[in-house]
Amino acid sequence: MFVGAIDLDIMRPLAEQYLGSLPRVERTDAPLDLDMDPPDAHIEKTVRAGVEPQSQTIMAFTGPFDYTAQNRVGMRVMAQALELRLRETMREDLGGTYGVGVTGGYEQIPEERYTVTVAFGSDPLRAEELRGVVFEELRKLQAEGPTQEDVDKAVEGERRARETNMRLNPYWAAQLIGAKASGQDPRFLLDTTTIEQSLSSRSKKMHNVI
C-alpha cells in the first residue's frame, strides 16, 4: 500500500517490475484462527507490586460486533461520550481519580468483535468504590443512552481528530488497508458529509452494545 504525493508515471513501472520479480506460489492464504476467544464469564484479578500506595484499574468489556464503517465511527464516539460521563462523575464529583480513559476498539479477523476498555488510577482504598461507579454509569448508559450534550462533544472531538488525521499518510494507509480487508468501498472515506451526519445517530444507538 502506497499513500502520499506519488508520481504514478514513476511509481507504476517500479511497482510492476517488483511484483513481476516475485516467485509465483500456488496457494490460497487465509487468516489463522488461534481460537483465543475471550472468556464468557466475569473475571477479576488483582496483581500486587511496587511499594507506593497506588492502584491502577483496567476494566475490559467485549462481545460480538457488526463491523461496518458507520458502526466503527459510532463505537469511537460512544467511547468518548462514556469517558466524558465518567470523568465528570469520578473526577469532578467524587475526586476519586486524576483521570479516566475509555477506548472503543474493534476487530474483524478472525471474528467481528468489539472491546471497550476503561482505565483509571486511584487510591487503593477507593478502587472498589470507583469500579462500582463505572458499572453504575454503564447501567445508566444502557437504560437512558448518552446525553445530547455528551454526544455533541464526542462528535466534535471525532470531527476534529478526523480533520487532523486526513492530513497524515499513516491514517490513509490504515483506512485503505482496513477497507480492503473488510471488502468495503474505500470511497466511503471521502464522503465526510454522510459520515458526520451519521455520527450522532449512530453513537446514540451504540450505547446498548456494551
pLDDT tens over the chain, length 210 residues: 788 888 999 999 999 999 999 998 888 877 788 887 888 778 888 888 877 888 999 999 999 999 887 788 888 888 988 999 999 999 999 999 999 999 999 988 888 999 999 999 999 999 999 999 999 999 988 888 888 888 888 888 888 888 899 899 999 998 888 888 777 788 877 776 665 666 555 555 555 555
Q: Which class does domain 51-205 fall in? A: alpha beta
pLDDT of residue 203: 54
pLDDT of residue 143: 85
pLDDT of residue 92: 93
pLDDT of residue 65: 92
Q: What single-letter DSSP state applies at residue 90?
A: I
pLDDT of residue 31: 78
10 Å CB burial of residue 14 (0-12, 13-18, 19+) is exposed
Distances in whole angstroms, Cα of residue 161 to Cα of each of 46, 138, 157, 158: 35, 25, 6, 5
Host H or E run for residue 47:
none
Distances in whole angstroms, Cα of residue 205 to Cα of each of 137, 143, 151, 199: 16, 12, 11, 10
Do residues 59 and 131 make contact, with C-beta atoms less than 8 angstroms apart? yes
The whole model's pTM is what?
Answer: 0.77
